[in-house]
Structure 1
Amino acid sequence: MPLTLTVSDEVRALVPGFTHLAVEAHGLVNGPSDEASSALLDDAARRLAERLAGAGPDKDPHIAAWRAAYSAFGAKPSRTRNSAEALAKRALADNGDGGAGGLPRINRLVDAYNAISVAHLIPVGGEDLDKIQGGMRLVRATGDEPFVTMAGGEETVEHPEPGEIVWCDEAGVTCRRWNWRQGPRTRIEDGTVNAIFLLESLAPMTVAELTAAGTELAESLEKLSPGARITVRTPE
């Protein structure tokens, strides 16, 4: 049964132009970053540089929309950048040799979705389906929800600020400040075999552009994990 994804009325009222698409995948084969996943990042950095033509990521209309959305729930977008802007800045850093610059190599699946985020300037997150408890919800936090993270090499529990937009499941917050920082509890690791990838967009990005990004991610996953069962779910 597909994972249930719910966006609260409070979030839709605050940011009415929000749309998301999910790519659900079963039977994946993950592992350390390799030549194939690194090539996806190299290509994404090249496409981003061509798209921006020397401008900063914050000048892109879609990133500007995310900055406005972060401001709407009280975050400072220059201090806590959405994941797409943060990755784009790394991709453009030290990129004089035509490579992926400062983009991290995490593992094959994370590399694949990070490449889509950079190439399309769209926040993309990945969660291990086997670690999610219940459905996933995008809500405005009360401030009481637990967020398990790491600090100084030790596991610790934080809490979001009241009104902060967060993704959560039945066990607590999975990603703070919408798509700013993912918790380690549900992240995709080398042994992940079942995963869901969330692509998030705001106007002026169109549904067609969002769908194209989701389709490209599905194609990348199929190449990295032949035989995996992959479903691109309709934008919501």
Structure 2
Amino acid sequence: MKFIVDKSYWNLFSDSKLGVLLLKNIQNGESTDEIKSILKEANNEAKKYLTKEILSENPVIAVWREAYKKFKTKKGVRSSIEALLKRVNSGNPVSSINKFVDIYNSASLKYGLPCGAEDLDSFVGDLKLTITQGGDKFIPLGSDEEDNTLPNELCYIDDEGAICRCFNWRDGARTMIKDETKNSFLIMELLDNRLVELNLALDYISENAKKYLNADIEKYILDINNPEITLK
């Protein structure tokens, strides 16, 4: 099983970097007071990215607004980092979900980068990041109804359907991180030149996942010259 970043992606974002963590033997579950405190601190720290009065003009959001113009999306779709920072901006901090999700949401807020994770054992065949022909089966997180992909949409897909739609907008229910998740694929996408921050964010997640989840971790940085890795 591999993660393959298709040429259709690199045609749009040739200079981008994709940071991947493979986390094995996770001991997930209800968040602890210590992790909740880390998340609270990250919510406060994220305010440093909100220096412009208009939310979309803040650089860590603006880069994604521009990116989303390059492929087909549903109306009103925004990147996951914009969704998190919008909550911070409105005084509605990102709340606790479980240990693992709290850790990577903290990293996303702290470093101003989108981050998502999936249950690796739920994948069917290879995982691909690609411009899709549309019609990939997708049931959004928190829904029971299908909302399948559009033609020319940028998605993470496997042989069963879509895993995450519109780059990092919405995760699917099939591969969501659950309390009982044992193995995970985590990704942070970088479109600007903040490679130092990407590495710091991945290391931050790794350190906390080892400390609080007892996870075994592999780290990768993918680019146009290194577009695939073996998942298992």
Distance 2:221 2:73 in 1: 29
- Tell me which residue corresponds to 1:60: 58
Secondary structure of 1:105's counterpart equals coil
Secondary structure of 2:187's counterpart equals strand
Map 1:103-122 onto structure 2 (within 5 A).
103-122=94-113
Secondary structure of 2:145's counterpart equals strand
Q: CA deviation at 1:15?
A: 2.3
Distance 2:59 2:141 in 1: 33
Distance 2:176 2:48 in 1: 31
Equivalent residue in structure 2 for 1:49, among 33, 41, 47? 47
Map 1:90-169 onto structure 2 (within 5 A).
90-94=87-91, 101-149=92-140, 155-169=144-158
- Tell me which residue corresponds to 2:180: 191
Q: Any unmatched runs of 5+ in structure 2?
A: 224-232
**RMSD between aligned alpha carbons?**
2.0
In the alignment, residue 22 of structure 2 is paired with which amino acid? Answer: E
Matched pairs, number: 223
TM-score using structure 1 length: 0.87
In the alignment, residue 202 of structure 2 is paired with which amino acid? Answer: G
Matched, 1:88 2:76: no
Secondary structure of 1:24's counterpart equals strand
Distance 1:56 1:114 in 2: 23
Q: CA deviation at 1:235?
A: 3.7
Matched, 1:181 2:173: no
Distance 1:184 1:80 in 2: 18
Q: CA deviation at 1:26?
A: 0.9
In the alignment, residue 117 of structure 1 is paired with which amino acid? Answer: S
Distance 1:8 1:235 in 2: 12
- Tell me which residue corresponds to 1:210: 198
Deviations along 1:5-29, whole A, 9 cap, x unmatched?
A: 2111111112223210111111111
Q: For the Cα contact (< 8 Å) 1:45–1:92, is it kept in 2?
A: no
Distance 1:214 1:195 in 2: 14
Runs of 4+ deviating beyond 6 Å:
none
Label 1:63 to 1:50 Cα distance change in 2 as closer, same or farther (>3 A).
closer
Equivalent residue in structure 2 for 1:171, among 160, 163, 169? 160
Q: CA deviation at 1:173?
A: 0.2
Q: Which has the larger displacement, 101-110 or 53-62?
A: 53-62
Distance 1:124 1:215 in 2: 13
Q: For the Cα contact (< 8 Å) 2:72–2:154, is it kept in 1?
A: no
Distance 1:9 1:108 in 2: 35
Distance 1:39 1:54 in 2: 27
- Tell me which residue corresponds to 2:226: none
Q: For the Cα contact (< 8 Å) 1:110–1:188, is it kept in 2?
A: yes
Q: For the Cα contact (< 8 Å) 2:123–2:175, is it kept in 1?
A: yes
Q: For the Cα contact (< 8 Å) 2:17–2:221, is it kept in 1?
A: no
Label 1:221 to 1:150 Cα distance change in 2 as closer, same or farther (>3 A).
closer
Could you tell me the percent identity over the aligned residues?
30
In the alignment, residue 180 of structure 2 is paired with which amino acid? Answer: G
- Tell me which residue corresponds to 1:223: 211
